[in-house]
Structure 1
Amino acid sequence: MTTKINAFQLAALLVTFIGISNHVIMIPILLDTAKRDAWISVLAAIVPSVLLGLLCVYIYNRIPSSLSTWVDKKSALLWLPFTLLFTVYFSAQASISIRDTIVWSNTTYLTYTPPSVVGICLLGICYYTARKGLAAIAITNGMLLPWIVLFGFYVMIVDFGVKDYSYLFPVFKNSAQAITKGAWYTASGITEIFLVLFLKDDIKGKLSGKSMLPVVLILIELTLGPLSGIIAMFGPFEAELLRYPAYEQWRMASIGSMLSQTDFLSIYQWLAGSFIRISLAIHIIRTLWVKKWRHPEILLILITLFLFVVNQIKLSDVKFHEHVKMYYTSSSLICGATSIVLLICIWAGKNKKAVKPSG
């Protein structure tokens, strides 16, 4: 499928792709880093996150094609290290989601199912969707996202009565360094919007700051809302000990006395978000290599097998948590360094009239 997607579909993809990470993976890191003041860290990250979004729009509208295509045309020597770097980057995004989904599934509702079976099923549907192309992923996301949002509002509303927002105070009980570090992690998660630079060939028209601003604010809310709700529900000390705090909110969600458990809806939320995130990451990795590869189908199979094998490596939960922190730190550094290089190329190209804004 080669149909291009529009800006609205792209925005919806960003919300799902980054939102599942911010909602599920980011929150335990923030609680571990900034404790009760974690929600202050998220607020402190709003301005940097908005600036990152605007920077992404600026670069997107001034490169003539997708980033991988542009690098290939500019320098054949730089193409290989560039492609290897971002293959690792997007593989890390997919691998973290795959592992977290497998472990959570085995911990909660598939306790007797071998992790390898869960991994095969998850990667199988992601492979099939990535094989159909970006438009198929965007259309699928358009069907899944409204229900993800609806169930999110549901759990927020039904749990409101058991929350005590006084647990959010007093603020600034932790060091400025801890709060700043939490803001760094939050902004690092937002840097994933730079994936749009790799999708330009398949997107219609330009992006605008007005379209990117709501996306960034929604992503911030997807961290701030659940995070503050978790602290209000369990208290800052108990919340810090929870491995999957966003899921624990669902255990309290009920509709009267006749329907006391509705946490099965969280399975849909989690799997739908992870499915889109992993599928899109696989698609982007494929686009990085496909123009140099004679057999695209074999390439896609190899990418999927690689992700499966990586997630069979035995790793304790503590070490995995540290690796995720390392990923967010590396993500900010990679995207920051890439942005600086791109800005230099764009400005230098302007002076030489070598790079023009795409029409």
Structure 2
Amino acid sequence: MTRIRPLGLCFIFFLSAGLMNHVLVIPLLAETGGRDAWLSILLVMPPGLLGLALLYYLIQRLSGSSLPQWTKARYGRAASLLLTVPLLLQLLLILFMTVKDTTNWTEATYLPRTPDLVVALLFMGLCFAAAQFGIGSIAIMAYLLLPFVVILGHFVMGANIRYKDYSFLRPFLEHGMGPVWHGMLYASGGLAEMAVLLLVNHRLSKPFKLWGLLLAGTLVTSLSIGPLIGGYAEFGPAEMMKQRYPSYAQWRLVSVGKYIEHLDFFAIYQWLSGAFVRVSFAMFVIADVTGLKGRKRSFVLLLLSLLLVLAVLLPISDHRFLTMVKEIFIPYTVGSAILVLLAAAGLVFLASRRKKANANE
């Protein structure tokens, strides 16, 4: 069984959650939290870090096993399914939302005349191959892709500094704390996805350290702050509310000197890097949880890829898609993560009590 280092899994999460926090979340934060949405991100960190501390506690108690394996060995198959199915549904939603949004964005920006079927087939073919090769290959790709994604992110932030007017962020709390509290739900979406770690804990060569997990969670959550504040500073609140892809719009402002413009093709690299790792990893985890090997595992991955291609072709408008993300995907992701963490903590506590009782006998 292939195992990876915790750092490799962190790189995977940075790319996966980075796409979530840079693409899906920003328009929703702008809609719900307005110009104070950056406060939602800061306020979600304390409870988010407490959740990660609970996640760390569970990882330690699992003793190198995944949550399905540990639960099945101690409480039976039914209990294992009750904890695993919500996370698997979360992964399926991640797959659909990511592939659909990537296809929509591709059509809206740089390949407007290419059929969605062609885009989806090519993209899913690459993701199928990566998932088939396994988590080791996905981690290697994350190692190679993430440094350039980070460099490009800092480049676009610095290149657009001349266009930024941070006075657009004032007045603070113009509409009170209500929008800020509402925005916290969407600010926690990327952090909640880290609950999937319970499904791949057995794939780590050594366990996470608490400080490493908390640092990773802090970085994942803060990924939204830069493009959110930058968008308001560059476009102003009125225009920011109209932007469907604010991070991509910021790339379209970039120029170097008088003669170098149209550098927004770098955004394609950033987006596809995140989408590729995000989809490949989710597909791998789903196949890994089934426990199938060889041709059966390949069949599951192939079937999943074809179903995603067909799902992309469903006649769902972009407005309807955003509504689904806002009302279904992110609320379910956050809610399922909280429920699974609390339920798993309860089972771990009962198992420890049972172990102590048996020892006393």
* TM-score range for the pair, normalised by the shorter chain length: over 0.9
TM-score by length of 1: 0.94
What is the rounded CA distance, in whole Å, between the counterparts of 2:258 and 2:167 in structure 1? 27
CA contact (8 A) 2:124 2:305 kept: yes
Determine whether 1:189 maps to 2:196.
Answer: no
Q: 1:349 aligns with which of 340, 347, 351?
A: 351
Matches within 5 A, 1:113-128: 113-128=114-129
1:82–1:68 Cα change, 3 Å: same
Match of 2:214 in 1: 213
Offset at residue 204 of structure 1 (A): 1.4
Match of 2:24 in 1: 25
What is the rounded CA distance, in whole Å, between the counterparts of 1:139 and 1:294 in structure 2? 24
Q: Which moved more, 1:172-181 or 1:233-242?
A: 172-181
Offset at residue 128 of structure 1 (A): 0.2
Task: Output the amino acid matched with 2:36.
Answer: D
Determine whether 1:67 maps to 2:67.
Answer: yes
Show structure 2 runs of 5+ residues with no match. Answer: none
Aligned-residue CA RMSD in angstroms? Answer: 1.7
Offset at residue 296 of structure 1 (A): 1.4
Match of 1:231 in 2: 232
Task: Output the amino acid matched with 1:19.
Answer: G
Write out per-residue CA displacement over residues 156-183 of structure 1, whole angstroms, 9 at most, x where no aligned residue. Answer: 0000110001111111112422210101
Task: Output the amino acid matched with 2:346.
Answer: I
What is the rounded CA distance, in whole Å, between the counterparts of 2:32 and 2:342 in structure 1? 28
Matches within 5 A, 1:1-359: 2-64=1-63, 65-73=65-73, 74-291=75-292, 295-325=296-326, 326-353=328-355
Task: Output the amino acid matched with 1:91.
Answer: L
What is the rounded CA distance, in whole Å, between the counterparts of 1:166 and 1:323 in structure 2? 33
Q: Which moved more, 1:296-305 or 1:130-139?
A: 296-305
Offset at residue 215 of structure 1 (A): 1.1
What is the rounded CA distance, in whole Å, between the counterparts of 2:70 and 2:78 in structure 1? 13
Offset at residue 88 of structure 1 (A): 2.0
1:346–1:293 Cα change, 3 Å: farther
Write out per-residue CA displacement over residues 208-229 of structure 1, whole angstroms, 9 at most, x where no aligned residue. Answer: 2210122122112210111000
CA contact (8 A) 1:293 1:299 kept: no
CA contact (8 A) 2:83 2:340 kept: no
TM-score by length of 2: 0.94
What is the rounded CA distance, in whole Å, between the counterparts of 2:297 and 2:354 in structure 1? 37
Task: Output the amino acid matched with 1:4.
Answer: R
Offset at residue 78 of structure 1 (A): 3.5
1:263–1:75 Cα change, 3 Å: same
SS of match in other structure, 1:111: coil
1:99–1:351 Cα change, 3 Å: same
SS of match in other structure, 2:152: helix
What is the rounded CA distance, in whole Å, between the counterparts of 2:62 and 2:142 in structure 1? 27
What is the rounded CA distance, in whole Å, between the counterparts of 1:245 and 1:286 in structure 2? 34
Write out per-residue CA displacement over residues 305-346 of structure 1, whole angstroms, 9 at most, x where no aligned residue. Answer: 122222221111111111111211111111111111111111
Task: Output the amino acid matched with 1:285.
Answer: I
Query: How many residues were matched structurally?
Result: 354
What is the rounded CA distance, in whole Å, between the counterparts of 1:227 and 1:99 in structure 2? 23
What is the rounded CA distance, in whole Å, between the counterparts of 1:5 and 1:245 in structure 2? 34
CA contact (8 A) 1:247 1:266 kept: yes
1:86–1:306 Cα change, 3 Å: farther
Identity %: 31
What is the rounded CA distance, in whole Å, between the counterparts of 1:301 and 1:125 in structure 2? 11
What is the rounded CA distance, in whole Å, between the counterparts of 2:342 and 2:83 in structure 1? 15
